Structure 1
Amino acid sequence: MPSQQLDLSPVQETLLLTLYARAMDGKAPSPILGDTLAAAVADRIAEDTGYDFARLKLKPSLVVSTALRAKKLDDAVRQFTATHPDAVVVDLGCGLDTRFARCAPPAGVDWCDVDFPDVMELRRRYLPDRSHLIATDITTANWSDLLPDDRPTMIVAEGVLPFLSGDSFQTTVRRLTTRLRSGEFVLNGYTRFAAWAMKYDASIKALGIDAAQGFDDPREPEHWDAGLTLVSEQLLTRAPEVAAFPQPVRALTGLMARSTAMSRQGARILHYRF
């Protein structure tokens, strides 16, 4: 019998959606990310709490796109920590992401996982590791004072942008980059249309979320007064891993890849330096 319960807001519950997407990929015959730890955590949550992951209605397209974007963000983190083995990594809205375990950073790296207090309790229960847990609403002021500011910092924001209202995402990024000495910032970017369309995705509708935040021009963050300079924009429709997507997702992704404008409506990884 389930002995524990989950008490999460709709936005917080999206961590279960991405966890389950990575878990499904991890159990696939030919996984893209191969996150077996995510699969084990999802199984434990279902056993402990009785949570019905099937209610999230994950489509194959969401599973593979979630796995691919996580892989590309991991690649950026690994490259940064290899170059800066004494770096700081700040994972904004980390949820139950197993990025720390996947990236296995050098011992000199300080890794900070940041999310709501309720989410941090879940991390303590299901993902104990040596990362520093910062329990906060990332849009509040002054929590960044807890971060070391004397070393290069990699800031990661996966799946955060569309769920913050108004200019709160820009403000959060500005607070971080103006306080920290230098570093890089990577996120999965959403266009305005892609963020608007998310509201009609079956998985998002199942959680009752009104997601609608995004930006079209990858250079727009350069005008946030956050000291950001665009390094690269990766259009994931053109990633080699697409060859491992199941049909008909692979065929549809291949068609989108022919157009930069269409590709930007899918998953893209934006990489900045500050």
Structure 2
Amino acid sequence: MPSKQLDLSPVQETLLLTLYARALDSKAPTPILGDTLAAAVANRIAEDTGYDFAKLKLKPSLVASTALRARKLDDVIRQFIATHPDAVVVDLGCGLDTRLARCSPPVGVDWYDVDFPEVTDLRRQYLPDRSHLVATDVTEPDWSQTLPDDRPAMIVAEGILPFLPGDSFQTMIRQLTTRLPTGELALNGYTRFAAWAMKYHPSIKALGLDAAQGFDDPHEPEHWNAGLTLVAEKLLTRTPEVAAFPQPVRALTRLMARSTAMSRQGTRILHYRF
């Protein structure tokens, strides 16, 4: 019998959507991310709370794209900490992501997982590790003062852009790049259309969310007064891992890959330096 209850807002509940997507990918014949720890955590949550992951209505396209974007963001982080073994990593809206375990940083790296208090409580229960937990609403001012300001920093923001109101994402990034001396930012960048269309996705509709934030031009963040310079825009429709997508998702993705404009409506990883 379930012994616990989950008390999460709809936005916070999206962490279960991405967790389950990574878990399903790990069980695929050819996993893209292969996050078996995510599968173990999802199983424990289902056993402890009776949470019905099936209600999230995850389609194969979402499972594949979630796994691929996580893999590509992990690659950026691994490259950074290989060059800066004393770095600070800041994972914004971390949810129940097992990124620290996947990236396995050296002991000199300080890793900060940032999310709502209800979420950091879940991390303590299901993902006890060596990360520093910052329990906050990321739109609140001054929380960045808890971060070290004397080392290069890698900021990662996966999946949170569409759900932050107004210009709060830009404000948060400005605060971080002001606090941190130098480093990089990596995020999955939604276009305005892609963010708007999310509200009609079955998984997002199941949680009652209304995502809306995005930007089209990958150079736009260079005008946020955050000291950002675009390093790369990676269109994931054109990556080799698409070969592991299930059909017909693979065929549709390869068709989209022929057009840069169409590819940008899919998943893209944006990489900046500050």
- Give the count of matched residue pairs: 274
The alignment partner of 2:241 has SS state of helix
Distance in 2 of aligned mates of 1:30 and 1:71: 14
Matched, 1:218 2:222: no
Distance in 2 of aligned mates of 1:29 and 1:112: 33
Please report the TM-score for the alignment, with normalisation by the length of structure 2: 1.00
Q: Which amino acid aligns with 2:4?
A: Q
The aligned runs of 1:83-162 (5 Å cut-off) are 83-162=83-162
Q: Which amino acid aligns with 2:192?
A: R
Q: Which residue of 2 is the match for residue 53 of structure 1?
A: 53
Percent identical residues:
83
The aligned runs of 1:1-274 (5 Å cut-off) are 1-274=1-274
Q: Which amino acid aligns with 1:152?
A: P
Deviation string 1:199-244 (CA, Å, 9 cap, x unpaired) is 0000000000000100000000000000000000000000100011
Distance in 1 of aligned mates of 2:222 and 2:122: 35
CA offset at residue 181 of structure 1? 0.2
Q: Which amino acid aligns with 2:84?
A: H
The alignment partner of 2:247 has SS state of coil
Distance in 1 of aligned mates of 2:78 and 2:179: 23
Q: Which amino acid aligns with 1:59?
A: K
CA offset at residue 176 of structure 1? 0.3
Q: Which amino acid aligns with 2:78?
A: R
Unaligned runs of 5+ in 2: none
CA offset at residue 29 of structure 1? 1.4
Q: Which amino acid aligns with 1:182?
A: T
The alignment partner of 1:217 has SS state of coil
CA offset at residue 130 of structure 1? 0.3
CA offset at residue 27 of structure 1? 1.1
**Which consecutive aligned stretches of 4+ in structure 1 deviate over 2 angstroms post-superposition?**
none
CA offset at residue 28 of structure 1? 1.1
Distance in 1 of aligned mates of 2:72 and 2:91: 14
Please report the TM-score for the alignment, with normalisation by the length of structure 1: 1.00
Q: Which amino acid aligns with 2:29?
A: P
Q: Which amino acid aligns with 1:106?
A: P
Deviation string 1:186-206 (CA, Å, 9 cap, x unpaired) is 000000000000000000000
Deviation string 1:148-206 (CA, Å, 9 cap, x unpaired) is 01000000000010000100000000000011100000000000000000000000000
Distance in 2 of aligned mates of 1:28 and 1:101: 20
Deviation string 1:104-134 (CA, Å, 9 cap, x unpaired) is 0011000000000000000000000000000
The alignment partner of 2:20 has SS state of helix
Distance in 2 of aligned mates of 1:165 and 1:229: 24
Distance in 1 of aligned mates of 2:245 and 2:146: 41
Distance in 2 of aligned mates of 1:179 and 1:3: 42
Q: Which amino acid aligns with 1:74?
A: D
Tell me how large the CA RMSD over aligned residues is.
0.3
CA offset at residue 138 of structure 1? 0.6
